[in-house]
Copies of this chain bind each other. A is one copy, B any other.
C-alpha cells in the first residue's frame, strides 16, 4: 500500500492552495491530491462562461502550480476513509495510507426539494464541474425563456450574463425584498436591483417560486407565490450551497449545527492529523463571533494558507480571529462590494454602530471620460470609532477599495486614524485628494459619533 505524508481530498481553490503552500514549506514530504474531475473550473468564473468568456474552456483551473511544487495528483473518487488506521480507498480501487489528511471537499448546490416540480427536466442547479457546466451552457444557449431562482451573487451574475444574449428573456426570482440582500444594506441593494433592470433582467423580488410547472416531464413555467406564472424553457436554481461532508460524516468527523466539518483556528478537525478547509469546513464570523457558513473562494484560500503554513507545526500565527466576508461583484458595468458588518447583520448580532457616508467621482476632475460615481458607506463602532464594515458601489476600482476597508477592519483601524490616512491619488485612477471617499466617509462617521454623544 502506497503511503503519502499528506493527502488532500479535493482540487478546488482551498485544496490547491493548501497543497502548494504545504508542499513548498515541506519539500521533503510527499503530497498527493485526489480530485474527482479530470478538468477543473475557476469557481467564481462560472457565471461568465455563459457570455463574456464565450465558453467553458477559457475558465479552466488545474493543479499545475501544485505539480510544479512537487505534488502528485490522482483523478479518482475517495470512497472510504479509515481514520483509526490512517488509510483510504478509492472508487478506482486504490488503497492509500497517509500521515495527514485534508478534507477540501467543497460544497454542493442545494436541490430545491421544497418547490413542487423540482425534479422536472430542465430544472438545473450549478455544480462546480467542467462537464456539467459545458452541458448546461448548451441548454442555456438553446433556451429562449430562462428563469433563475435566488438573487444571491450567483443568481445575479448568471442572470446578468444570460441577458447579454439578446434573444433571451431572463427572469430572476428572489424571496427577499432585494437582490444581494445578505451582503448589502437596503439602499445599496436597491441600486443592485436597478442595475439588474438595466441589464434587461426581469426581477421579481419579495415573492417565492411556488411551483415548477411542466409538460411531459419537462419544465415549461414557474408559478410564483404572488399568482403570476412565468414561461420557462429552463430553470436555474441558485438558492444556496451546503458543505459537502458525506465522506467526512462517514469517516466519523464532528459536524457542526450548520452542517460543516468542525475545525479550530488552525483548521484541525476533531481527529488528530485530520484537517478541513474551505467550503466544507466551519467558519466563525469576524464581527458576530458565532459559527456560520461563509463559502467564498477568497475565504477558502486565506484558510488554506493558514493550513499550508501550519500543517507540519504551527509556524505562522493565524491572523484572523474570525472570517470576514468580503464580497464583490459587477452588474451591467457597476461594481458592488462589501466587507464585514452591514446594517442588517450588525442589528441581528446586537452590534451598536453609526454610519459614515460619502459619494464622489472616481476620477478627478469628474469631467474626465470614463468616470463613475463611487458611493461609500462605513459601519463604525460609536464607542471607539473602529471600522467594522463597509459597502462600496462604483467603477472597477471598488474591487480593490473594498480591500482597503477589509485591511482596516482586520487591523482595527479607527475613523480617527483614517482621517489623516496618507493616500495616493491620480486624476485618471482615483477620487480627488480633497474628496477621497474613504476619508470623507470617516469624517462623516466622526460627526455622527459626536451627534450620538450630544
Q: Which residues of A contact B (CB under 8 A)?
A: 13, 16-17, 21, 42, 44-45, 48, 52-53, 58-61, 65, 286, 296-302, 305-306, 309, 316-320, 323-324, 326-330, 335, 337, 339, 364-365, 367-369, 396-404, 406-408, 410-411, 413, 416-417, 419-430, 432-434, 436, 439, 443
Contact of A416 among B44, B316, B329, B425 (CB under 8 A): B316
On whether the beta carbons of A422 and B316 are closer than 8 Å, the reply is no
On whether the beta carbons of B407 and A408 are closer than 8 Å, the reply is yes
On whether the beta carbons of B328 and A42 are closer than 8 Å, the reply is no
On whether the beta carbons of B413 and A407 are closer than 8 Å, the reply is yes
Contact of A365 among B58, B300, B327 (CB under 8 A): B58
Besides A302-B421, A330-B426, 17 other A-B contacts (C-beta < 8 A): A44-B427, A59-B367, A296-B433, A297-B434, A301-B434, A302-B422, A305-B443, A306-B420, A316-B416, A317-B416, A320-B420, A327-B424, A328-B426, A328-B430, A337-B429, A403-B424, A404-B407
Copies of this protein, total: 2
A430 to B42, CA, bound (A): 13
Least distance between A2 CB and chain B CB atoms (Å): 28
On whether the beta carbons of A302 and B420 are closer than 8 Å, the reply is yes
A402 to B404, CA, bound (A): 9
A367 to B396, CA, bound (A): 17
Q: Which residue of B lies closest to A429 (CB)?
A: B399
On whether the beta carbons of B58 and A367 are closer than 8 Å, the reply is yes
Q: Which residue of B lies closest to A417 (CB)?
A: B319
Q: Which residue of B lies closest to A12 (CB)?
A: B434
A231 to B326, CA, bound (A): 55
On whether the beta carbons of A422 and B299 are closer than 8 Å, the reply is yes
Least distance between A56 CB and chain B CB atoms (Å): 11
A433: chain B residues at CB < 8 Å are 13, 44, 296-298, 300-301
The answer to whether A53 and B400 touch (CB under 8 A), given A406-B424, A407-B408, is no
The answer to whether A424 and B408 touch (CB under 8 A), given A365-B45, A416-B316, A439-B305, is no
Least distance between A177 CB and chain B CB atoms (Å): 24
A335: chain B residues at CB < 8 Å are 426, 428-429
Least distance between A296 CB and chain B CB atoms (Å): 8
A432 to B40, CA, bound (A): 15
A16: chain B residues at CB < 8 Å are 434
Least distance between A359 CB and chain B CB atoms (Å): 14
A61: chain B residues at CB < 8 Å are 365, 434
A–B Cβ pairs within 8 angstroms, 23 of them = A42-B365, A45-B365, A53-B367, A59-B365, A61-B434, A65-B434, A298-B425, A300-B433, A305-B439, A316-B419, A319-B420, A326-B424, A328-B425, A328-B430, A330-B426, A396-B397, A397-B400, A399-B429, A403-B430, A406-B421, A406-B423, A407-B408, A410-B422
Most buried by B among A44, A61, A402, A424: A424
A40 to B425, CA, bound (A): 19
